[in-house]
Amino acid sequence: MYKPIFYEIGLKEFMKICVVGAGYVGLTTAAALAVFGHEVQCVDTDQVKIDDLLQGKIPIYEPGLENLIIEYSQKNRLYFSNKIVESIRDYSIILIAVGTPSQNDGSCNLSFMKQVVEMIVATINSYKIIITKSTVPPGTNEWIHRTFIEMGVKDDLFDIVSNPEFLREGRALWDIFHPNKLVFGTKTDRPLEVLKELYLNGSTPLIFTSLTGAELIKYASNFFLATKISFANEMARICDAFQVDYADIKKGLGTDPRIGPDFLNAGLGFGGSCLPKDLHSLKHSALTHNIETKLLDAVMEINDSQIELYLQRLNNVLPASEGKQITVWGVTFKPGTDDLRSSPAITLIQQSIQRGYTVHTFDPMVKLDSCDVTSHSDQYESVNNSDALIIATEWEQFIHCDWSEVQGRMKGSIVLDARNCLDGEMLRRQGLLYLGVGIR
């Protein structure tokens, strides 16, 4: 028989939570839950990763996370293990944060998710709340619920909760400690009291919806953010044609509370592990229900054409056929991370090489391991004898660098600002040829 949840998991004191998956989302969430006062066991099949974590070494770069993991491991609130089956069996709250990588057709590979579901079904012997944190296509949590029932698990033994994350890489701890909303999709009211206590949310708006509703809030959010970026990029092109600085337009737009100032930066476009993947996945899901995705397609098309646009700008002043040397500053998909996944900078570098440019790079976090590029560990050295410098990621140290030093080392004078982040006037005074899209 179903018993009140708080007898099982110690509500009002602390909860014992098993986080499955020690990736970016799993580790950040596990550390935060430990800070909130819960006892957290984070499990992963990767023995090397778990061994590293037990020694306080974390496999990703996320400011502040390593210190938090060390502190809360020492306080015995955060544990790491590769004993997935045992942990799943022994814990009453299981938070699934495994990867759901993109497949060639745009859909998500749910095989890790399925493995975890099978393990829970095979071992469940007491009431559990199973929380899906991974981004999964609409209908996945309903499928998980159905699988439990079809495999003979009584519905008073479990609740499935869809609780998507909205963390930004590089700011994940800030986001998890200052969420602008918490979204919970459920099938019954039974887990609600536990969910309200899970994140010590204070005044954060709590949004309760269906399982599929929560999944779609996550996709809608990333679709909307991507739309803002592609809108900014199209507007910057129009500004360019009328010789208007897009920065002025951005300012004018941002003061309207219905629009807001965020996610309006024009440049090389969006990348990373989430936005491109989630847009393809949403399109795939829509197509399986015969829904046309005209806006989604346009957002992706604009994004995909940004690199070509910047390379044309470069080619106009420095034709590639001459075998010229360029330096690309920034290789990660955005500043504050070491993540190269779907990085527009990487595509820009690859396409520059294909066109015949000799490419040098510098990034504060990543040295590229490729024989096709010369990757430097010194920012200024990387521009020695270059004909052009391209800013592909807006790291602070690029914005505030010593431009006379740069100019003195370069052979040419072209600076292509592919993130609209530099002070063009100042660069021109320095004798540099400052170029971009939507830049006067």
Q: Which of 18, 42, 239, 274 is catalytic?
A: 274
Q: Which residues fall within 8 angstroms of residue 188, CB to CB, at 6 or more apart?
A: 159
96 forms bridges with which residues in the sheet?
Answer: 20, 132
From the CA atom positions of the chain, what is the Rg in Å? Answer: 24
Residue 192, CA distances (Å) to 93, 125, 189, 299 in order: 13, 21, 5, 36
Answer yes or no whether residue 333 interacts with ligand UDX by CB under 6 A.
yes
Q: Which is nearer to ligand UDX, 33 or 410 (CB)?
A: 33
Q: Which of 338, 341, 336, 358 is nearest to 349 (CA)?
A: 358
Q: Which is nearer to ligand UDX, 86 or 304 (CB)?
A: 304
Distance CA 437, CA 230 (A): 13
Stretch that binds ligand UDX, among 5-13, 162-170, 294-302, 354-362 (CB under 6 A): 162-170
Answer yes or no whether residue 99 interacts with ligand UDX by CB under 6 A.
no
Answer yes or no whether residue 229 interacts with ligand UDX by CB under 6 A.
yes
Q: Which of 126, 192, 193 is nearest to 154 (CA)?
A: 126
Answer yes or no whether residue 334 interacts with ligand UDX by CB under 6 A.
yes
Stretch that binds ligand UDX, among 65-73, 114-122, 167-175, 195-203 (CB under 6 A): 167-175
Answer yes or no whether residue 23 interacts with ligand UDX by CB under 6 A.
no
Answer yes or no whether residue 240 interacts with ligand UDX by CB under 6 A.
no
Q: Which is nearer to ligand UDX, 85 or 238 (CB)?
A: 238
Residue from the set 44, 62, 159, 169 that interacts with ligand UDX by CB under 6 A: 169
**Residues belonging to the chain:** 440
Answer yes or no whether residue 30 interacts with ligand UDX by CB under 6 A.
no
Exposed e or buried b per residue across 374-388, where buried means at least 16 C-beta atoms within 10 angstroms of its C-beta: ebbeebeebbeebbb
Q: Minimal distance in Å, beta carbon 363 to ligand UDX?
A: 14
Residue from the set 143, 208, 263, 403 that interacts with ligand UDX by CB under 6 A: 263
Residue from the set 21, 191, 213, 267 that interacts with ligand UDX by CB under 6 A: 267
Residue from the set 272, 364, 412, 436 that interacts with ligand UDX by CB under 6 A: 272
Q: Which of 15, 122, 24 is nearest to 338 (CA)?
A: 24
Q: Which is nearer to ligand UDX, 168 or 409 (CB)?
A: 168
Torsion of Cα atoms, 211 then 216 then 218 then 221, to 10°: -150
Answer yes or no whether residue 310 interacts with ligand UDX by CB under 6 A.
no
Answer yes or no whether residue 438 interacts with ligand UDX by CB under 6 A.
no
Answer yes or no whether residue 379 interacts with ligand UDX by CB under 6 A.
no
Q: Is 18 a catalytic residue?
A: no
Q: Which of 399, 401, 390, 383 is nearest to 434 (CA)?
A: 390
Answer yes or no whether residue 270 interacts with ligand UDX by CB under 6 A.
yes
Distance CA 253, CA 267 (A): 17
28 forms bridges with which residues in the sheet?
Answer: none
Residue 124, CA distances (Å) to 91, 113, 383 in order: 10, 16, 60
Please list the active-site residues: 274
Residues found near ligand UDX in the complex (CB under 6 A) = 165-169, 222, 225, 229, 263-265, 267, 269-272, 274-275, 333-334
